[in-house]
Amino acid sequence: MKAASLLIVLVGLLAVVHADYEGEKVVRATIKTKEQRDAIAAWSPEADVWSFDSTLVVGENDIRVTGPQLLQLQALGVDYEMLIPDLQVHMEQAYVRHVESRKADNPAVDFFTAYHTYDEITAWLKNLTATYSTIATFTPSIATSIQGRDIPALVITGTGTGQKKKLFFSGGQHAREWVAPATVLYIIEQVLLGYGKNTDVTNLLNSAIIHFIPLINPDGYYYTWQSNANRLWRKNRRQNSGGTYGVDLNRNWDDHWGGEGSSGTPSSDTYRGTAPFSEPESKGVSAYILANGPFAGAIDYHSYSQLILRPYGWTNTPPPNEAAAKVIGDTVRARILAVNNVRYTSEPSWTLYYASGVSDDWAYSKGGVPFSFTIELRDTGTYGFQLPPAQIKPTGAENWAGWLYFAQAVLAN
């Protein structure tokens, strides 16, 4: 089949599969008052906020809207700019890019030219461990998801002896954020390739044990890959009462659970669940952190917004090590910037929005991790959650530079 004909078929298929996006747009809305925010928060169905970890704030918000919701924004006097004028077309174009990248994909040569399924990620980790068996250990399952899928982990350390500090890195809490697990995998590969060849990496691995959980939410991620599903799904796949699905895993951690920035409504994208650690995914990862720590530092990767965030999310009272954490966050930003001239912002989480029950706060306050960060990856709204496959490697490269500095800095503290 000729390329042009193939594209026509693919676009036609997506128009059927993702018809729910018909007539929708994504806008950057500047909410000026609490009254405006509360009015939008009362929408039914709830507004799908793409920016700032799906939390609606007084300030700029990227919001997916229907035609009637756009009219409501106008009636409320909310200023906005159009980011994606036709979400249906946006999704179709993203799907074509995705399929084309998969056609050309050769994981044996370069794993990072396309996004990969849950099964492919698991197989890649297992095979990589076999190749680097002297320094890498693959654990097929540190816990199982609500639907019974394994959550794999990888541990890497050098052959150096003596007491070693530990580091922890994760991604994929939110299903639609495909570039997050891809970036963790990219970092894993750089670590393994660099040992014995790169002095910084070799010295790091000889003095540290590094733990990776690239995909915390396997069910949600798996769901976003299904042809009849919602590519923009965020939560896990728990079946809630009332016929709704999903808990936001990054509102389910046992640190000020139930507070501001989370929702008690099961249909909400920020639904916190019925109790702290009600979900096997967050409960399993937290148990892993406690059992394998203490960790000197941790980063949980998300997308999008290009942010380097540090505790706290639930309060504007700074933690005792705020000054040191700020230096690390600001320098991570500088290292990222130096690679591709892509600008991230380093700041405490609460300055953007309040969020409770989140993993980086728990890791800092209860998990014994003195430097616990969240990084929101590319971009700032042009593609949003549909970051093109061609940007996987540049995103990975800039964050590899930030990661390597972070690892060295927290081990030195």
Query: What pLDDT is recorded for position 2?
Result: 40
Query: What pLDDT is recorded for position 105?
Result: 84
pLDDT in tens, 120-165: 999 999 999 999 999 999 999 999 999 999 999 999 999 988 899 9
Cis ω before 294 (30° cut-off from 0): yes
Query: What pLDDT is recorded for position 221?
Result: 98
Q: List residues bridging with 310 in a β-sheet.
A: 348
CA angle 307, 288, 137 (to 5 degrees): 95
pLDDT in tens, 291-309: 999 999 999 999 999 999 9
Query: What pLDDT is recorded for position 45?
Result: 85
Positions of the chain with pLDDT under 50: 1-19
Structure tokens at 254: 């046992």
Query: What pLDDT is recorded for position 182?
Result: 98
Query: What pLDDT is recorded for position 108?
Result: 80
- Torsion, Cα 192 196 198 200, to 10 degrees, reads 90
Assess if CATH 3.40.630.10 describes domain 108-236+246-412. Answer: yes
Query: What pLDDT is recorded for position 34?
Result: 95
CB 65 within 8 A of CB 73: yes
CB 385 within 8 A of CB 50: yes
Active site residue 376: yes
Q: What is the 3-state secondary structure (H, E, C) of 224-236?
A: HCCCCCCCCCCCC
Closest by CA to 308, choosing from 327, 331, 325, 333, is 333
What type of residue is 217? Answer: N
SS3 95: helix
Catalytic, out of 24, 92, 376, 398: 376
CATH class of 3-94: alpha beta
CA 38 to chain centre: 27
CB 80 within 8 A of CB 29: yes
- Indicate the domain borders of the chain: 3-94, 108-236+246-412
Query: What pLDDT is recorded for position 378?
Result: 98
